[in-house]
Amino acid sequence: MVYREPLLVMLVKLVDLIPFPEPPKKRGRPKVYSDRLIVKALVIMIIRRLYSAYSLLAFLEQDTPLTQPLRDLLIENGQFPTRRTWERRLKALPDTLPGLIGCFGRYLVQNLCPYTQSGRAAALDSTALRAKGGVWHKKHRDKGEVPHSTIDTEAHWSKSGHHGWWYGWKLHLACTVSSLWIPLAAEFTPANVYDATIAPQLAYELPEDVRYVLGDRHYDDDELRDYCRLTGRFLVTTQPGQYPHQGDGVEVRRIFHLLRHHAIEPFNGLFKNVFEWGGQVPVKGLRRTRLIVLGAVLVYQLVLLYQFQHHKPLGKAIKPLLRAA
């Protein structure tokens, strides 16, 4: 009988292949445990839906053929972190995840080559995620009253043409415009943060191969346009005003808008379906929710790497694969 490692163990081991960005130089005592070890734990938490350090450790304490190799993967320098260490390091991890997602996205583009049969474009967009629990109505927020304990007071209100008003968060994403959707950059904010304020951060993480940055009218921003010009890219956004638009370049913009529509918008829906966040996110608080949501983007990238290494159809059947893990 041929022994095969559990799928979750294989996915966690792939974290060793992720290129991590260079950490900033800081004074003080060096870290006892590497960020890579903490990311391995985060991958387990996302896939097994364990949303706290306590839940993670309770899961790893179970004596099963799955938990023993996972626990071994979380030992570094002969030591296993304490619960307090897990809590502290997981709390600090969200600040490094956008840079890690960007670095991993560039690595995937280099190896998966999504632009061999398409133009080198990336699409920007934000997607709505509803906060866990009740909503904090404006009349109560203005008075500082929290009428129910389930309300996440760190979330906020926003409105879009597709979702209408919602109370919660925004996941800001950049992905490839091709037959394979690869997350290239991500950030997470309360819902009231304007898309254009986060866009330069997303553009900074894009691979050098990208020449066209596509967005809707919210991304028609001077700072983003100047950054794209400095990096040799073209920013293409929809224009304000009544349809049909007139003027130079309108037909070209229409083609680019259609390409964007068939890339980032369906990917947003796919991503929320894979992790079953069409209703509400599973945790409360900005830092915890940012950890889980950005961690899920990283897990999605990790699955693409797994499919590539095992010669499986890229970007297909990701939800069943994660369920099997």
Can you read off the two tokens belonging to residue 177? 């415009």
| Per-residue CA distances from 181 to 108, 225, 301, 318 (Å) | 11, 24, 10, 12
| pLDDT number for residue 248 | 60
Residue with more model confidence, 3 or 18: 18
- Find, among 223, 217, 226, the residue nearest to 257 by Cα: 217
DSSP-derived letter for residue 234 is: E
What is the pLDDT averaged over residues 174-188?
95
| pLDDT number for residue 2 | 47
- Find, among 240, 296, 287, the residue nearest to 127 by Cα: 296
Can you read off the two tokens belonging to residue 48? 């097994």
Task: Look at residue 239 and tell me whether its pLDDT is greater than 80.
Answer: no
Please say whether the beta carbons of 168 and 128 come within 8 A: yes
Maximum CA extent, the chain: 69
Can you read off the two tokens belonging to residue 180? 């394979």
User: What stretches of the chain adopt beta strand conformation (E)?
Assistant: 121-130, 156-160, 164-176, 183-190, 212-215, 234-237
* DSSP three-state, residue 160: strand
- How far apart CA 203 and CA 123 sit, in angstroms, is 10
- How far apart CA 195 and CA 221 sit, in angstroms, is 10
194-201 contacts, C-beta under 8 A, 24 or more apart: 194/218, 195/124, 195/125, 195/126, 195/170, 195/219, 196/220, 196/221, 196/223, 196/224, 198/126, 198/172, 199/124, 199/172, 199/223, 199/224, 200/224, 200/227, 201/98
Amino acid at 123: A
| pLDDT number for residue 247 | 60
| pTM tops 0.85 | yes
- How far apart CA 319 and CA 30 sit, in angstroms, is 38
Query: pLDDT by residue (tens digit) across 263-315?
Result: 888 999 999 999 998 789 999 999 999 999 999 999 999 999 999 999 999 99
Is residue 320 classed exposed, middle or buried when 0-12, 13-18 and 19+ CB atoms within 10 A define those classes?
exposed
Which of 244-277 are b and which e, b meaning 16 or more Cβ less than 10 Å from the residue's Cβ? Answer: eeeeeeeeebeebbebbeebbeebbeebbebbeb
Q: What's the 3-state SS for 162-190?
A: CCEEEEEEEEEEEEECCCCCCEEEEEEEE
The single residue listed with the structure tokens 């904010």 is: 189
- Find, among 202, 201, 235, 203, the residue nearest to 217 by Cα: 235
DSSP-derived letter for residue 79 is: B
- How far apart CA 302 and CA 108 sit, in angstroms, is 9
Residues paired with 126 in a beta bridge = 172
Query: pLDDT by residue (tens digit) across 123-149?
Result: 999 999 999 999 999 899 888 888 888
Would you place residue 53 in the very low, low, confident or very high pLDDT band (cuts 50, 70, 90)?
A: very high
Domains of the chain, with CATH numbers?
7-95 (no CATH), 98-286 (3.30.420)
Least confident of 91-100, 155-164, 224-233, 312-321: 155-164
